[in-house]
Amino acid sequence: MLIGEHKLKKILDRVMHQARAVIDYKENGMGDAVLLCHRSIIISGTGTSGKGYGAWAKIHLEGVGTVGVMSIHAPTKRRLRRDAWRWVREVTETGKWIICGDFNMVEYPEDTIGPSPLMEEHKRRCWDLVVGSGDLVDARLCASEAKGPHFTRQAWYGERFDQSRLDRFYITERGEWIHHIKKVEHQGARTLSDHIPIKLEVVFRADRSTRRRKRSYFKMDERLLRREGVMEKIKKAWESHPYWARDRRKRWGLALGRLRDILMEEKAELTPGPAPEWLSDTGCEIAAPGRPFIYLGVQTSSPIDERAITESIVQKMMKKLNHWSNKLLSWPARTILLKHVLAATPLYQLMSVGLCRDGIEDLERLCRTFLWGWNEDGGAKTSLVA
């Protein structure tokens, strides 16, 4: 548990008997950072900046090894911020690290609405040194799921209301464990602070090694394609895919798979702006901040609403079957008709999004009812196959 400042001091006093704390006391009026670790966790080392920048601890996880966890409360003054980034760069230079806290600045314009401090040029240079030396990435951009409100802080500045994402998780790319991050969740409940809590979840197997328990789906973030050379690779892959393929579904599936592999490999970021001419041929559109990214009619940005997609498939099948009166169709005719309706379901949509259990049961119930028909009182007949 990482706590910046002492706005939650009363709660902190209550949980101190269940955890061990690493506290970096404040200086020059700055808030201090607190790192709480449960007593069952094995801690191999701790440290602080000594000036209120942050506190860190190295913990041991079975199947992963030693991982460093750091709590940050970034200062607002330029000189102090430069010292804080230098300290972070020195501490996280080697090993695996999870960094979380209040950074008191945002990296991108879409992360703020109001007068929050946007990262200026000199701040960007200092921060790039920290990110480059530690191979740090924003956990919300690489997690399988990103739940909760986008902004983590809300406050009034005079007559203006400010919303910004000041609190973030950063994780080093060293080792494969970063690819097993399951979820980053922003808790939208009302708290004692003007910041909302954020939670990071990593999936472990029974033997405590990192592996996803279920299939992870490609997530198109709104900030993609910032790194050099990504657009050229995507264009080259799109122009070289076989247009001569007879099966259109195979052609689109091949193109989608190659584009997905390139984007996942580069881990680039999307810059909203004018789209290239060839992008319209792919069926893609660059989504504005807050809007889902649609590819071939499938929502590929996070979070994916599986229930809504499943309901749309059920409604399409119901509309097709309602055009037929099963009283005038024989049992073999109904079987053939059901096969054709199921074959017309978009395969790329079913491959991109996993259907929820309720949706699968609705599809089965719809097919059984159409196949076996209704009783005289209007109820569905009992099927011979359960």
Cis peptide before 332 (omega within 30 of 0): no
pLDDT above 50 (res 212): no
CA geometry: angle at 156 spanning 153 and 161, to 5°?
80
Same-domain check for residues 96 and 185: yes
pLDDT above 70 (res 351): no
Per DSSP, the three-state class of 141 is helix
Same-domain check for residues 178 and 54: yes
pLDDT above 50 (res 272): no
The answer as to whether 368 is a domain residue is yes
The structural domain count of the chain equals 3
Same-domain check for residues 126 and 236: no
The answer as to whether 210 is a domain residue is no
| Domain boundary pick from 274, 297, 320 | 297
- Residues 6 or more apart from 235 whose CB is under 8 A from it? 276, 278
The answer as to whether 382 is a domain residue is no
Same-domain check for residues 319 and 249: no
What phi, psi does 171 have (nearest 5°)? -135, 140
pLDDT tens digit sequence for 108-165: 777 777 655 555 555 666 666 666 665 777 777 766 667 777 778 777 766 677 788 8
The answer as to whether 378 is a domain residue is no
Confidence tier at 36 by pLDDT (50, 70, 90): confident
- pTM for the model stands at 0.48
What phi, psi does 59 have (nearest 5°)? -115, 155
Same-domain check for residues 283 and 343: no
The answer as to whether 6 is a domain residue is yes
Segment 208-225 shows an average pLDDT of: 49
Confidence tier at 188 by pLDDT (50, 70, 90): low
Same-domain check for residues 178 and 255: no
Whether 41 contacts 62, CB under 8 Å: no
Give me the DSSP letters along 65-131: EEEEEEEEE--SSHHHHHHHHHHHHHHTSSSEEEEEEE-SSBSSGGGEESSPPB--HHHHHHHHHHH
The answer as to whether 209 is a domain residue is no
Beta strand 145-147 with 160-164: parallel, antiparallel or unpaired? unpaired
pLDDT tens digit sequence for 325-334: 666 677 778 7
Same-domain check for residues 121 and 43: yes
| Domain boundary pick from 256, 275, 297 | 297
Residue 220's Cβ-side half-sphere holds a number of Cα atoms within 13 Å equal to: 26
103 CA to centre of own chain: 20
* H helices present in the chain, as ranges: 9-15, 78-91, 121-134, 139-142, 230-240, 248-266, 306-322, 331-343, 347-352, 357-372
User: What is the structure's pLDDT at 269?
Assistant: 44
Beta strand 181-186 with 145-147: parallel, antiparallel or unpaired? parallel
Same-domain check for residues 177 and 263: no
pLDDT tens digit sequence for 231-242: 777 777 767 655
Whether 91 contacts 56, CB under 8 Å: yes
The answer as to whether 212 is a domain residue is no
Pick the closest to residue 195 from 34, 6, 69 (CA basis). Answer: 6
| Domain boundary pick from 297, 330, 347 | 297
* H helices present in 268-305, as ranges: none
- Residues 6 or more apart from 261 whose CB is under 8 A from it? none
pLDDT tens digit sequence for 45-97: 888 877 777 888 888 877 667 888 888 888 777 778 778 888 888 888 777 88
The answer as to whether 381 is a domain residue is no
Same-domain check for residues 178 and 244: no
Same-domain check for residues 289 and 197: no
CATH number of domain containing 57: 3.60.10.10
Same-domain check for residues 15 and 48: yes
Pick the closest to residue 252 from 280, 231, 282 (CA basis). Answer: 282
Range with the poorest average pLDDT among 82-91, 279-288, 316-325, 345-354: 279-288
Domain that holds residue 252: 230-297
Same-domain check for residues 185 and 91: yes
Angle between helices 121-134 and 78-91 (to 10 degrees): 10
Q: Which helix (H) or strand (E) holds 153?
A: strand 153-157
User: What is the structure's pLDDT at 303?
Assistant: 55
- Residues 6 or more apart from 65 whose CB is under 8 A from it? 96
Confidence tier at 341 by pLDDT (50, 70, 90): confident
pLDDT above 50 (res 350): yes
